[in-house]
A and B are shown apart, each in its own frame.
Chain A
Amino acid sequence: MRRLSLTFLLSLIGLGIFAQDDLMNILNQNTPSETNYTTATFKSTRIMNGHSIERMPSGQLDVRISHRFGTLNSGGYNFFGLDQSNIHLGLEYGITNWLMIGVGRSEFEKTFDGFAKFSILRQSTGAKEMPVSVSVLTSVALKTLKFPDQTRTNYYTSRLAYVGQVLVARKINEIFSVQLTPSYVHRNLVATELDPNDIWALGAGARLKVTKRISLNGEYYAIANPKTYLSQQIYNPLSVGFDIETGGHVFQLFFTNSLGMTEKQFIGGTTGQWKKGDIHFGFNISRVFTLKKHKKAPNY
């Protein structure tokens, strides 16, 4: 009797499992498979100096204020560089969910800059599998510092420089993201015949989430052109620091050997050397305003 009831019980369980399988099948057939797009690969639209894969969603305005102070090795008299500051102001706007534009002005060489960032691919799982996110960045820099020699014929085009970057990023897991940034910089006018008009570089950046609101970031650009025999000794820019998110603001605090804050300035214009202590403390503050309300949640 006991044996019989056990068999009955077992067969019931078996039936139950079978029925469950069936239900799952039905569920799978009826729900359309979805694509899960990866979000928040980085906290901000910049890793530090350079752009990250992130962009402003449509209708959102990012007001950015950035500072780079003097060098740490300038000594206690100059309060380790804090007496001297360089500022960059930026207004950046998401036109659509795949296109972002921005304008800015740097104190460094009195430069105006403008850029457009296009999202080409988005990292996703589910129905559409995409291992990486890819964006393209183009920017123009206009240096308005007075020409050292006013008597010669100076050209407006001599003030311009162009930048093209391909941003390839992957959020490996919830706490770690990486990005590779092949970059090209063209300067219309350089000082001597030895200086290249075109500069090629490969950037690499990473983010490690420490807590929910704080992440540790690193960024490096390796310049492919030979860096000796130029009229000015240049170095590869390296930056290390933290992102801190507080409500609507993102604070980025870091140390870098670059004084410039736009691509044209820090790729091929970094004259500081970490080894010698030419390290600048810097910060970016980003505040996002929603200018255009969405009727429905944006599709990402």
Chain B
Amino acid sequence: MKRLFISLAIITIFSFFIVSCYYDNEEALYPSLSNSCDTTNVTYSGTIVPILNNNCLGCHSAAATGGSILLTTYDEVVARAPRITGSMKQLSGFSAMPKGGGKVSSCSITQWDIWVRKGMLNN
């Protein structure tokens, strides 16, 4: 009887998760966003800051200064730009970033490259 009760409780708990079963992919779920990587209007404030916010500042902000590296201000980012490029592209000789979280999306890397090539403007 106790065995039956525990089984039912466990099955009930897991069924909460099972009902929320989806077959989604990002291309179909976000059609307007997925195929358009904006490579024309690349700015520091509009493009680079959001990339840093989403991928880097979890560890590289004043709250948690991983490896004593800060990426919160424009000057700090410019000073470390070559190393950011290597880490983000996970080239050999660089510490691959983000740690334990796969890789920054290829669109973000392309946008970063464009911003660097255009002279790392503070716009």
Residues of A bordering B, CB below 8 Å: 70, 74-75, 77-78, 83-84, 86, 95-96, 98-99, 101, 107-110, 116, 118, 138, 140, 145-150, 152, 155, 157-158, 160, 162, 186, 188-193, 195, 197, 259
The proximity string for B residues 7-29 relative to A, scoring 1 for CB distances below 8 Å and 0 otherwise, is 10010001001101111111111
B25 in contact with A193 (CB, 8 Å): yes
Q: Which residues of B contact A162 (CB under 8 A)?
A: 17-18, 21
Give Cα A101–Cα B104 distance, bound, in whole angstroms: 34
A166→B43 CA distance, assembly (Å): 52
- Given contacts A74-B96, A86-B100, A189-B22, could you give 10 more A-B pairs where the C-beta distance is less than 8 Å? A95-B6, A116-B10, A138-B14, A140-B17, A149-B33, A150-B53, A190-B26, A191-B25, A191-B27, A195-B25
Q: In the complex the two chains form, is B24's CB within 8 Å of A190's CB?
A: yes
Contact residues in B for A101 (Cβ distance below 8 Å): 10
The residue that A197 contacts in the complex, of B14, B24, B101, with Cβ under 8 A, is B24
B21: chain A residues within 8 A (beta carbon) = 162, 186, 188
A158 and B27 alpha carbons, distance in the complex (Å): 13
- In the assembly, what is the distance between CA of A107 and CA of B100, in Å? 6
A109 lies within 8 A of B26 (CB): no
Q: Which residues of B contact A138 (CB under 8 A)?
A: 14
Closest to A145 in B: B101
Which residue among A86, A95, A147, A157 has the maximum number of chain B CB atoms within 10 Å of its CB? A157
Residues of B within 8 A of A189 (CB): 22, 24-26, 29
Chain B 87-107 interface mask (CB, 8 Å, partner A; 1/0): 000001101100111101100
Chain B interface (Cβ < 8 Å from any Cβ of A): 3, 6-7, 10, 14, 17-18, 20-30, 33-34, 50, 53-55, 58, 92-93, 95-96, 99-102, 104-105, 108
B25 engages A99 (CB within 8 Å): no
A110 to B101 alpha-carbon distance, docked (Å): 8
Closest residue of chain B to A153 (Cβ to Cβ) is: B30
The 3 closest A-B pairs by CB, nearest first: A188-B22, A107-B100, A189-B24
Nearest chain A CB to B83 CB, angstrom units: 14
- Rounded to whole angstroms, the CA-CA distance of A110 and B55 in the bound complex is 13
Q: Given A96-B3, A99-B6, is A140 in contact with B24 using a C-beta cutoff of 8 Å?
A: no
Q: Contacts A99-B6, A193-B28 given; indicate if A84 touches B20 (C-beta within 8 A).
A: no
Contacts of B7 in A (CB 8 A): 99, 118
Q: Enumerate chain A residues within 8 angstroms of B14, measured Cβ to Cβ.
A: 116, 138, 140
Contacting residues, chain B, for A84 (C-beta < 8 A): 95-96, 99
- Residue contacts A-B, CB under 8 angstroms, 29 given: A75-B92, A78-B95, A84-B96, A84-B99, A86-B100, A96-B6, A99-B6, A99-B7, A101-B10, A108-B100, A109-B100, A109-B102, A116-B14, A138-B14, A140-B17, A145-B101, A148-B105, A149-B30, A152-B30, A158-B24, A162-B21, A186-B21, A188-B23, A188-B24, A189-B22, A189-B24, A193-B28, A197-B23, A259-B100
Give the complex CA separation of A147 and B101 in angstroms.
11
Q: Which A residues lie within 8 Å of B29 (CB)?
A: 158, 189
Chain A min CB distance to B60 (Å): 14
- With a cutoff of 8 Å between Cβ atoms, the chain A residues found around residue B18 in the complex are 162
B22, B27, B105, B108: the one within 8 Å of A193 (CB): B27
Shortest Cβ distance from A129 into chain B, in angstroms?
A: 23
